[in-house]
Structure 1
Amino acid sequence: MAVASLSCPELLAPAGDWDCLRAAIENGADAVYFGLDRFNARMRAHNFTEADLPKVVATLHQRGLKAYVTLNTLIFPQELPAAEQYLRSIISAGVDAAIVQDVGLCRLIRHLSPTFPIHASTQMTISSAAGVAFAHDLGCQLVVLARENSLAEIQKIRQQTTVLNKALPLEVFVHGALCVAYSGACLTSEALGGRSANRGECAQACRMSYDLIADGQTIDLGDRQYLLSPQDLMGIELLPELIAAGVCSLKIEGRLKAPEYVASVTRRYREAIDRAWLGQSTELPPSDRYELEMAFSRGLSSGWLQGIDNQALVQGRYAKKRGVDLGSVLAVDRRGIQVEPLVPIQAGDGLLIETERGDRGGRVYQVEPIAGQRLRLCFSRDFDLRAVQVGDRLWKTSDPALEKELRQSFSAEQPRWKQPVDLTVQGAIDQPLVVIAGDRQGRQVSVQSEQVLQAATQHPLDRDRLAAQLGRLGNTAFELGSLENQLPDGLILPISELNRLRRQWVSALEALRSQPNHWPLSATAKLADLLPKRSATQPRTPELTVLVRDLPQLEAAIATQAVRLYCEFEDPRRYREAVQVFRQAQRLEQTIWLAPPRIYKPGETWILEQVRRAEPDGFLVRNYDHLAAFQGDRCVGDFSLNVANPLTAAHWVEQAGLEWLTASYDLNAQQLLDLLAQTPTNWLEVTIHQHMPLFHMEHCVFCAFLSDGHDFRDCGRPCEQQEVRLRDRVGVEHILKADAGCRNTLYNGTAQTGAEFVPALQSQGLFRFRIDCLQESPAQVTQLCDRYWQLLRGQCSGEQLWRELKLMRQLGVTRGTLTTVIR
């Protein structure tokens, strides 16, 4: 039986083009999310245009589905006018919601329209009750939780937000590709290639191969080389638990996937959700699992939904689609390979063979029975079998028959997926017959006959006769649900008139369902109303901030010209000692600020308590829980708050009370200057030297590849015993660190500097400059601070500093992501 206090969650499917949209509609989705040609996190998808919006919305609404537009990227300062115009078009088009990452964009939406729904994107990195409460106060109507939340954590978040009276509907990803990094916290593509994931241009560096280096030695991991590539998510068997946890929307990943993928995954989840809601089993039959693996699979797992299992999440052996396990090669002869297949195989199917020389792929030309279950698979003459050996693993990668069936589900002209309509029939003798038709989304139309009801001499209108005529809905998107006959006995109406009434109510209901939502949209509200006031300020003496990661670095930094020291230690229990060391040696006006871990999840209160008990001068706020935990204390915002435009900056300073903010690392030099031109300069700090934090992950590489454990309880803590680097394909060794929550950050092995842009930034009034240390020795910390201080005082040029630091052993500085042509 269904749980009375809960509602059946919607099934939300992706669409990258019109075929995907139709595939979602015809296979049972309740809603579709899609992007336009700007400001969406899947810019490589075909996407739709502003001109498409009215048709897309009408198509979805007519079929009873909701339309959600993705605006889930950061917005740069010069883009705000275009974003405002985009929002006006989207709101006017009557979509059902926008999925948003940027805090400033949320403020702009709410300024333009008081009621237009905002869904907080998973790019907002919300993993706790405080994050949901933040979204609530920002004016959001729904939160897409981080993929890293478990079922138990989802339940806690719902309970805690209910107590706070700030509960929002929760949406959870249930199927598709998993990002190894927290969404909104991955800077890899930006750092390595200038293609920001926060701008929809992810280069998928997580799917590349890496060598694991521990204490300077390359670890032999055998065939495991894809250390950051998770298996794909499949939560279909956990649907009862997700429903019980109060999840209101179940999301399928895949705006870059083919329409056959959308069709396959949508129909299987539609069936499973309906079973789960009726209290039936959602255990996956082998045929359904086969179909989901054929749709797209790097291996299927429950992700983080059942908690952390680092061994199961990343198997490390491949990073591309594999399909279905077919078995292994039993023999190789001149005509082909012999196999006892684990699943059916026929001519035309796609096959991949894992050989020592790499993957070999092709289509099966012919299948020959040999004996028992053994088959010979033959290929075309140009297929090279010389590299294939007995024992090589086989994968079925393509099933043309299944693909044809899936295409047929959405390519027919007539609707395939039908939704029930409930009819009520009323009338009296010498009065018109009235038909009231209502769908399950609450829309209702009423039509009446042109002829009046008369006394029947034979075949009076009963329920069966009414259902036979009014329920003939073969070419429509409807099917007859319930029919309530309120007519007195013994009345009749011509069949032709009943047929006309059926056509009339179908047409009226279609027209009503096609209507866009009518959201209020202010004609007078302007972007300029929200921009912070930037008054002329007197030039200020430059200030240098240094972030350190251990006590020796801290002791070295205290003796420099830095006025602020940020501490980010792996073990927060060391913070009390750090503050004591600082107090004993600090210079006048020098202050110390502590940085808790970047991610907070339910049950980690002890970490924040350790940080607070150290009694620093202030805190480096990196997420929503820090904001709540340190309310009333001196707080400044870190780069993880993604401050990319003045609207976002204004929220964090004016509404959240932060003293200043570290600008987003997604901004290049010109965009930083644009931000400074529109923001009070005392609000901002810019990092000009750092090892860019690439991936910030729940996945623990230490646990997965340096232990047999599954999580912190049985891994043996190799993170405390070994220094680890991951070497990429071009030979750069990136530095891996763990934090107090056992989350990993992979830092760029090459530091970057924005030294050459410091004069331009100072000309715009910027006076706070930050350098982040990672593994530098105390002597290197001293040298960095001294040289950057000389740069800030005009005693050396940026080019001089860059050329000098490039020669420093073990540092290897590049110009980094700030590089751009300044207008």
Structure 2
Amino acid sequence: MPGAAARVRMSARPALRAASPAFRLSQTSVRRSAPLVRAVEGQRNPKQKPQLLAPAGGWPQLKAAVASGADAVYFGLTELNARARASNFAPSEIHDVVAYLHERGVKGFVTINVLVFDDELPLLEKRIRLLAEAGVDAVIVQDLGALALIRKVAPHLPVHSSTQMSITSGEGAEFARERGVKRVVVGRELSVQDIQSVHEGTSAEVEAFVHGALCVSYSGQCFSSEAWGGRSANRGQCAQACRMPYGLLVNGELRVMGDEKYLLSPQDLAALDMVPQLIEAGVSCFKIEGRLKGPEYVALTTRLYREAIDAAFAADDDDDDDEQKPFATSQQDWDDLHQVFARGQDATHRGLTPGFLEGSKHQRLVRGRAPRHRGVFVGEVTAVTKRGVRVWLSGGGSGAMPSVAPGDGVVFDAGQPEQDEDGGSVFEVIDHGTHDGEDREVELRFGKGWIDLQNLHEGMLVWRTRDAKLERRIRASYDGVDKRAGVVCEVRAGTVGEPLTITLRDQDGRKGVGISDVLLQHAESRPLDEAAVQRAIGELGGTPLCIERSDVRIASGLFLPAKGIKVARRSAVDALLAARREHTRASDMPDGKVLSALKTRIAEEGLPRRDHGDDDVRSASSKTMPKLTVLCRTRQQAEAAVACDVDEIILDFLEVHGLREATEAVQAAGKRAVVATPRILKPSEERLWAFYLRLEADALLVRSAGMLYRLRLLGGAGATVSDGPAKGCKVPPLHGDFSLNAANTLAAHDLLETGGLERLCLTHDLNAKQQVELAKELGVRAELLEVIVHTHLPIFHTEHCVFARFLSDGDSYVDCGHPCESAQVHLRSHDGQDHRVMADMGCRNTVFNAAAQSGACYVSELAASGFGRFRIELVDESADRAREVVQGYQSLLRGDITDEQLMRRLDLIPDANDAVQGVGLGSLEVRAERDRSELSKTNAKWAKMDE
């Protein structure tokens, strides 16, 4: 059986294998399907220099980014953004921020990159107006409802889709573009080749992360914080569960892992050496992650990527033979980057990798030894003296001899990063000599009471967490440095009795004109000349402008006091700066409250009945309970659900093997068969739609924007495919899953109406009360909503493969040996719970929460609010346990048992290892979201950052 599964695994990997020709999808053949090519053909711009986008968690970081060469800066307000723990900017500051940036020729992007709840939409409308009036250059959004509101409130305000929108294909990018998105930020899991495919498959601009932290889960698809802390990552309150230690259970046995504890904590991303390839791939904007980091980090990363982009673009322009010229980052630059921030290092892993840009390399991505920034490895403890610690400096083969100087910070690493570690500022360094011309031994001494020497011992690793000299050098590069935009200065003085005119023009064609406050006169002794004018104008010191070129035209025999010239200069500067500040300010926003009008229209218009849609949705007056749908991941579970007389079954098999037979078996039993599609659709998987259509299921559960766009491009539900690999197949009704992240009425309306869905499951970020309120907002159309009343929350959905990394020596599907086909894996968290890990047909891993979550106590309220369907999701339950779960809910809905009785039954159902993990309310629990003021603000000291 494992062999059969292997033959049909649908992987995005180069060595794609399949059981039939229908599955042989080469990278070339699936890159761009014909209809999509036609949709974007002819819209390509000639190659332009990519923009460099730097992060700013506050004013110090923003000024550092500008001084270091950023083309644009992204930042958030104190609400509605994905970095709640950053200092951020108050709404009252936004005009000053935008003015500061625009005067210096830098763009400002504001993040609204969270899911927005219905009760927050009025605030969002106010903020959209504020941002448009202030002249921000773009807003970065995740939420489809927020996107719809922006397009109505400020139609000319550019919108960029956040990486939280989980866009990983050209079709996903087109889904966003047709909703008004100008630029898409692609998932960090894409390779350079994938990014190029996205670029070729959309007319939207493509932005990619090039440096900073890597989330292990696909952005927008992580529910670990929601499951365990009630503080969702989709709401800007990530609890960083991926940075926690986990044990590895293989087939029920706890595996001895040595120092590998942080199994889900990737090293950080660094793509400096890949800048030329990314430019060639069509990336329009290079994005640096780090709004939680300090100004030193921002300054260094921005400067280095500025230099890399400039060098690579210049080399590309000068390349006559059309060959790529090599580009390399110096060892000193790499050392500096590792020092300011790198994560997950050990003596040989320095904490920065290309991530997924070179494809899947699981052995490299996650080291597993430590989850946080260490700095630079300098050596090992050789002895503990009465006054200090002797350290053998080696640097672990980094290529440069490390050093430690007074004022530097160090930490002593015993391989237990989850515990408190000793470290501090070095007071004195005593050199004990060089050995073999390479390594040397030093003694580090500290201030009295700073270090407990009794906790230290021989063999401990030593890290330099702070380099005082580097810190001073970086600060000097931006502190007091003000970026000045180059302008052309035109001076005209032609006729006696008229004023002298100064015109300043910037690179974008904006101009400022100033005239002298006195009129030109006949010169009696010293006539006005070009040198005198330039002396009076000066270099525009004290302003964010500098003169790059002058064009001075003065008629002979004229005179004007220098004071008059300076008046004209000041007026021209003020006028140009005003033009630079105001050029993006909105002036065409509609009057009145747009949101109220939108919601009124949604409430009034209703959705038309569809002939090909569900025939089992309840009427508005129905008093019966919603029907049950059961999601099954094995054939045995599906057979158990059929035996329980469930009328609709979702087939969410991890492999395509057996899916057709299971679909036919469910339909033969007189039940509706719905087939689940992947949550992530990468470029090499874009033709999976044909396989799913050929199954002839009663409906498809759509989980990604890319798949939804493709199926709509084919004509949507009811359409017959006219050509291609699914010629003659009909597009069945489309159901949207939680992964589409509908969190408010506007988003739900968009997906149901514009998106062509006939049923929609809301995001897990909504608790039961919020789902009830949203259903009420939709009125009769709430019958098209489905709520998951039982599940093991999918806490992580990752491109990184736990099986390949820790059960093989392989880097990808090509060489891992496919341990996922024989090994049953759980991750044991610090509280002793075991979370099941499963690999899907694309080799992506899903980690399911150990404890089930149940909405049993909410079913009456949910039913009364109009929900049309209740869903039960099974994970790895046996047929008997699946039957027990389904029959329990059937008894509850009939009124045979109470919700308390059902919860007691569910609480005793064991997992696949016969261990009882329990049940709770999970994300459905009605509880207050943590206030942002309760979240610890980040320290602006780059050397101490742990995020």
Match of 2:46 in 1: 5
Contact 2:784–2:867 (CA under 8 A) maintained in structure 1: no
SS of residue matched to 2:74:
strand
Whole-angstrom CA distance in 2 between matches of 1:357 and 1:207: 14
Displacement of 1:704: 1.2
Match of 1:84 in 2: 125
Match of 2:330 in 1: 285
Whether 2:613 is the aligned partner of 1:538: answer: no
Displacement of 1:55: 1.8
SS of residue matched to 1:678:
helix
**CA spacing shift, 1:685–1:465, aligned 2, 3 Å:** same
Which is further off, 264-273 or 560-569? Answer: 264-273
Match of 2:570 in 1: 503
Whole-angstrom CA distance in 2 between matches of 1:222 and 1:453: 88
Contact 1:572–1:607 (CA under 8 A) maintained in structure 2: no
Match of 1:294 in 2: 339
Match of 2:282 in 1: 246
Contact 2:792–2:849 (CA under 8 A) maintained in structure 1: yes
Q: What amino acid maps onto 1:243 in structure 2?
A: I
Displacement of 1:782: 1.3
Match of 2:393 in 1: 340
Match of 1:813 in 2: 919
Match of 2:944 in 1: none
- For residue 30 of structure 1, the aligned residue among 71, 88, 111 is 71
Whole-angstrom CA distance in 1 between matches of 2:67 and 2:153: 35
- For residue 771 of structure 1, the aligned residue among 863, 872, 890 is 872
SS of residue matched to 2:573:
helix
Whole-angstrom CA distance in 1 between matches of 2:277 and 2:524: 55
Contact 2:173–2:706 (CA under 8 A) maintained in structure 1: no
Which is further off, 574-583 or 605-614? Answer: 605-614
**CA spacing shift, 1:316–1:753, aligned 2, 3 Å:** same
**CA spacing shift, 1:176–1:468, aligned 2, 3 Å:** farther
Whole-angstrom CA distance in 1 between matches of 2:237 and 2:492: 58
Displacement of 1:694: 0.3
Displacement of 1:794: 2.1
Whole-angstrom CA distance in 2 between matches of 1:196 and 1:706: 31
Whole-angstrom CA distance in 2 between matches of 1:241 and 1:453: 61
Contact 1:421–1:478 (CA under 8 A) maintained in structure 2: yes
Whether 2:532 is the aligned partner of 1:461: answer: no
SS of residue matched to 2:512:
strand
Q: What amino acid maps onto 2:698 in structure 1?
A: D
Q: Deviations over 1:234-291 (max 9, x none)?
A: 1222222222222222111111112222222222222222222222864212222222
What TM-score do the two structures reach when normalised by structure 1? 0.93
SS of residue matched to 2:178:
helix
Which is further off, 808-817 or 766-775? Answer: 808-817
SS of residue matched to 1:530:
helix
Whether 2:827 is the aligned partner of 1:726: answer: yes
Whether 2:634 is the aligned partner of 1:561: answer: no
Whether 2:295 is the aligned partner of 1:259: answer: yes
SS of residue matched to 1:278:
helix
Whole-angstrom CA distance in 1 between matches of 2:65 and 2:221: 30
Match of 2:758 in 1: 659
Which is further off, 671-680 or 430-439? Answer: 430-439
Q: Any residues of structure 2 matched to 1:614-625 within 5 Å, and which?
A: 614-625=695-706
Q: What amino acid maps onto 1:620 in structure 2?
A: L
Which is further off, 107-116 or 542-551? Answer: 107-116
Displacement of 1:215: 0.9
- For residue 172 of structure 1, the aligned residue among 183, 195, 208 is 208
Q: Deviations over 1:748-779 (max 9, x none)?
A: 01111110110111121224100000011111
Whether 2:481 is the aligned partner of 1:428: answer: no
**CA spacing shift, 1:460–1:265, aligned 2, 3 Å:** same
Displacement of 1:376: 2.0
Which is further off, 240-249 or 769-778? Answer: 240-249
Whether 2:455 is the aligned partner of 1:369: answer: no
Contact 2:515–2:567 (CA under 8 A) maintained in structure 1: no
Match of 1:164 in 2: none
Match of 2:83 in 1: 42
Which is further off, 81-90 or 535-544? Answer: 535-544
SS of residue matched to 1:597:
coil
**CA spacing shift, 1:821–1:397, aligned 2, 3 Å:** closer
Q: Any residues of structure 2 matched to 1:702-713 within 5 Å, and which?
A: 702-713=803-814
Whether 2:864 is the aligned partner of 1:794: answer: no
Whole-angstrom CA distance in 2 between matches of 1:426 and 1:316: 68
**CA spacing shift, 1:105–1:331, aligned 2, 3 Å:** same
- For residue 412 of structure 2, the aligned residue among 329, 332, 353 is 353
**CA spacing shift, 1:547–1:344, aligned 2, 3 Å:** same
Displacement of 1:636: 0.4
Aligned pair count?
809
SS of residue matched to 1:138:
coil
SS of residue matched to 1:303:
coil
Displacement of 1:545: 0.3
Q: Deviations over 1:64-84 (max 9, x none)?
A: 222211111111222222222
Whole-angstrom CA distance in 2 between matches of 1:493 and 1:344: 62
Q: What runs of 5+ residues in structure 2 fail to find an aligned partner?
A: 1-43, 317-325, 344-350, 395-400, 435-439, 607-618, 718-730, 929-947
Displacement of 1:10: 1.9
**CA spacing shift, 1:355–1:483, aligned 2, 3 Å:** same
Displacement of 1:295: 1.9
Which is further off, 108-117 or 768-777? Answer: 108-117
Q: Any residues of structure 2 matched to 1:471-620 within 5 Å, and which?
A: 471-486=538-553, 495-515=562-582, 517-524=585-592, 526-531=594-599, 532-533=602-603, 537-539=620-622, 541=624, 542-584=626-668, 586-587=669-670, 590-605=671-686, 607-620=688-701
Displacement of 1:409: 4.8
Match of 1:135 in 2: 176
Which is further off, 810-819 or 783-792? Answer: 810-819
Whether 2:800 is the aligned partner of 1:748: answer: no
Whether 2:338 is the aligned partner of 1:272: answer: no
Contact 1:78–1:674 (CA under 8 A) maintained in structure 2: no
Whole-angstrom CA distance in 2 between matches of 1:410 and 1:395: 27
Displacement of 1:57: 1.8
Whole-angstrom CA distance in 2 between matches of 1:455 and 1:307: 73
Q: What amino acid maps onto 2:689 in structure 1?
A: L
Whole-angstrom CA distance in 2 between matches of 1:502 and 1:408: 31
Whether 2:238 is the aligned partner of 1:202: answer: yes
Contact 1:547–1:771 (CA under 8 A) maintained in structure 2: yes
What TM-score do the two structures reach when normalised by structure 2? 0.82
- For residue 57 of structure 2, the aligned residue among 16, 27, 34 is 16
- Measured on the aligned residues, the alpha-carbon RMSD in Å equals 2.4
Match of 1:328 in 2: 380
**CA spacing shift, 1:503–1:88, aligned 2, 3 Å:** closer
Which is further off, 254-263 or 130-139? Answer: 254-263
Q: What amino acid maps onto 1:653 in structure 2?
A: L
Q: What amino acid maps onto 1:54 in structure 2?
A: H
Q: What amino acid maps onto 2:759 in structure 1?
A: W
Whole-angstrom CA distance in 1 between matches of 2:313 and 2:464: 33
Match of 2:514 in 1: 447
Whole-angstrom CA distance in 1 between matches of 2:416 and 2:224: 29
Whole-angstrom CA distance in 2 between matches of 1:14 and 1:369: 40
Match of 2:258 in 1: 222
- For residue 736 of structure 2, the aligned residue among 622, 628, 637 is 637
Q: Deviations over 1:666-722 (max 9, x none)?
A: 111111111111012212000000000001111111111111111111111111110
Q: Deviations over 1:52-108 (max 9, x none)?
A: 222222222222222211111111222222222222222222222211111011111
Whole-angstrom CA distance in 2 between matches of 1:731 and 1:456: 95
Displacement of 1:459: 8.8
Q: What amino acid maps onto 2:48 in structure 1?
A: S
Displacement of 1:468: 5.3
